[in-house]
Chain A
Amino acid sequence: MTEPVISVRDLRVWYGSERGPVRAVDGVTFDLRPGETLGLVGESGCGKSTLGRGVLGLLPRGAKLAGEVNYEGRNLVTASPKAIQRLRGPDLGLIFQEPLTRLNPLLRISDQFEETLRTHEPGLSKQDIRHRSIEVLRAMGIPPTRYRAYPHEFSGGMRQRIMIALALVLRPSFVVADEPTTALDVLVEAQIIGILGDLRRNFDTSLLFITHNLGIVAEACDRVAVMYAGRIVEQGPVTEVFARPQHPYTRELLRSTISLSTTGLHYIPGAPPDLIEPPSGCRFHPRCPSAMRVCPEQFPEQVEVGPQRVECWLHGPDELVPEGGREPLVREEITVADEA
């Protein structure tokens, strides 16, 4: 197997708040190999964006970071802000959801590309800059005739493609895309997902793809990580995880997704927990249809189930489950309105 591009170990991120620290990411471990796309899914507030930004060292002030993000032999968590700043762009890229707010409205597209390339690759000639930029814009389906236009002259879908081009023109080896198509229509979304697919085939870029849409994960990702309350509760190859989800949360998320073959509605009762005082033991236990007595008592161990890595007592290890721990858990009823 090839070496991972990026290797995250026990990453923790917390935000300060009046009531105490918000543990938005609480011990996350994963690897990304060259050219691989990892989908990151989970309900709102489970810590997906925080994880994506944390990996790139792009957290707001006041946020704290611990653990390891290993990239090319060094831990970015302990690296100096200056060192990370140098990596951002040429090595690590980020694509956001709202393209309009990220493109400078006063600058022509050509100027934004020049500025980016000048900052990170000062040796390039004007001719080279133009060439590199137009090449990547073409790959995104932007006509070279529009190189000198302003952002407002493009539609939303085109602006999002320009944003992607702007992240890719530096040929980063690792990119975080945080809901890059959520604001777009199905046809444009399909075009952009196709483009992102080409990207990893042609440039070997590794992608952490954050989305709410499980259909997009099935379409665009090699592996998937399911996040709940700051933890990755299941990860593995998309085909396996979607065909045989091993964690009850993954299973329930898949069941509650409305697709073209939906014939009945299903949902998970309740809402993701407050991350200041999350539930004890397995954080999903108040909502889990399979919850057992052991679940609120002890934090579940990480176990391998086939190609998946899962954090759930259903999969043992048996020797750690106390006497009677497998009995069903008795809980209070969750009201309908008590939701996300």
Chain B
Amino acid sequence: MPTKPELMTTPEQSAERPLMEIRDLKVHYELRGSALARLVGGEGETVKAVDGVNVALRKGEVLGLVGESGSGKTTLGRALLGLVRPTSGHITYGDLDLARMPQRQLRSVRRRLQMVFQDPHAALNPSMDLATAIGHPLRIHKLVKSKAEARERVRETLERVGLTPADQFLDKLPAELSGGQKQRAVIARAIICGPELLVADEPISMLDMSVRAKILELMLELGRDLDLTYVYITHDLATAKFFCDRVAIMYLGRVVEIGPTEEIFADPKHPYTKALLRAVPDLDPERKVPRDLPRGEIPDAAAPPHGCSFHPRCPFAFEPCGWEARDLRAMFERRWIRLGEDALAREEPLVGELTEVDAHEEMVRVRAGGRAAELTALLEEARADEPDDPLWKGVERIESDGGAVVVRFRPGIDPGLLRVNAVDVACHLHDPNLSHDH
């Protein structure tokens, strides 16, 4: 039994002032439409890479951003450092709002905010030796007076990240290093100016299993010794569980669940979090990953689903989750995967028009000519075949209207974050006003 949910208005009520506070952050990318669309004055598409995120980063914590690729983790991480310009919202850091600071001023703040990238091979300039590459930020921020001083600082930092003896590494080129050593060099460059916040974007995902633990251990040590706050971006739940104090689960630009690591892993509340956890293969061969995982894949961020963006895949979806025309089309595709070519040949001409309706309507109107009755019967047959498909909870009525069949969906509601125990979760199942029996 979850405790009574309350609507969250302030991001966090921690006693200490947060290191950074992200409010209503949106980063939308305008994709240019096709040449033809622009010619006739059509608009391009918008990808809502980050779409309304609220998080307060506490000093000294490790916050995990976890989600499938395309969920907006990298974009959010880059926005925190002022590396992408938010469309709207605020990023409060001290007295500054990074979301609206001019580029020039941002550059000086960036000394305190650093990033470690996923691909250590791409992060280092192949023609620059380590002394130059790692010392580069010192020169940019004018923190050293001479070349010799810079070299000395690099030497100390190399020792700090375990590239010892440092003298053997100072003049090396990236090509002479292994993957793990490169990542150590990238970390050295990130810490050399004494940052407060380190955004680490999948820092170990390209490394060998046996090297991952070493880099994680280095990051833990540095965090302790240098008082760092981490944002750890990953799609690997196992390292997130080990490394993070708090975890934010992201899906299509939103945080769908956020809270203390122990509670998220012991008692996941969002159906997406539950699914992710069940999908991780265990080292014990006796424990198998269940087969009833959410179907499909993360949808196109340029046309996110209506209502809860997880609803097309959610096994628990119900009436208010945002049903729409596209879901009907997807249902038929699943049906034809199941039944095969003959069913496809029989049924596709009848429902063909489904592909032409506007995806965002809460109503579909299919012109069926003289075959409206046949189409209605087919819809009923599909429902009878798979009555447990959550889609049917969202279908309010199927009616015929002259030569057309009209399918009406229940109105969808976009779920906001609700407090349940120590966790905030964006799912209608946890809203007592919407959900009766869950």
Pairs across A and B, CB under 8 Å, 14 listed: A44-B179, A130-B341, A142-B337, A186-B68, A194-B291, A216-B281, A219-B288, A220-B281, A256-B210, A265-B216, A265-B217, A267-B210, A339-B178, A339-B180
Residues in B whose Cβ lies below 8 Å from that of A336 = 162, 164, 214
Indicate if B435 sits at the interface (CB-CB under 8 A). Answer: no
Taking chain A's interface residues, is the majority helix, strand, or loop, or is none over half, making it mixed? helix
* A242 near B283: Cβ-Cβ < 8 Å: yes
With a 10 A CB-CB cut-off, give which of B281, B288, B348 has the most chain A CB atoms. B281
- B218 smallest CB distance to A (angstroms): 8
* B276 near A188: Cβ-Cβ < 8 Å: no
* A239 near B285: Cβ-Cβ < 8 Å: yes
Give the size of the chain B interface in residues (CB under 8 angstroms): 56
- A337 smallest CB distance to B (angstroms): 5
Contact string, B161-181, partner A, CB cutoff 8 A, digits 1/0? 011100001000000001111
Give residues 202-241 of B contacting A (CB, 8 Å): 207-214, 216-217, 235-239, 241
* B344 near A145: Cβ-Cβ < 8 Å: yes
Closest to B179 in A: A340
The answer to whether A258 and B297 touch (CB under 8 A), given A186-B237, A186-B279, is no
* B241 near A260: Cβ-Cβ < 8 Å: yes
Residues in A whose Cβ lies below 8 Å from that of B209 = 43, 212-214, 253, 256-258
Contact string, B143-185, partner A, CB cutoff 8 A, digits 1/0? 0000000000000000000111000010000000011110010
The answer to whether A143 and B337 touch (CB under 8 A), given A185-B235, A213-B281, A340-B211, is yes
The answer to whether A267 and B337 touch (CB under 8 A), given A187-B293, A193-B289, is no
Residue from the list B207, B208, B280, B285 in contact with A260, Cβ < 8 A: B280
Give residues 59-117 of B contacting A (CB, 8 Å): 68-69
The answer to whether A260 and B210 touch (CB under 8 A), given A215-B283, A340-B179, is no
Give the CA-CA distance A189 to B293 in the complex, in Å. 11
Indicate if A152 sits at the interface (CB-CB under 8 A). Answer: no
Closest to B216 in A: A265
The answer to whether A215 and B178 touch (CB under 8 A), given A145-B348, A186-B68, A260-B265, is no
Give the size of the chain A interface in residues (CB under 8 angstroms): 57
* B341 near A134: Cβ-Cβ < 8 Å: yes
* A260 near B279: Cβ-Cβ < 8 Å: no
Residues in B whose Cβ lies below 8 Å from that of A144 = 336-337, 340-341, 344
8 closest Cβ contacts across the A-B interface? A215-B281, A143-B333, A219-B281, A185-B68, A190-B279, A267-B213, A336-B162, A265-B213
Give the CA-CA distance A115 to B178 in the complex, in Å. 41
- B230 smallest CB distance to A (angstroms): 16
- B416 smallest CB distance to A (angstroms): 24
Residues in B whose Cβ lies below 8 Å from that of A216 = 281
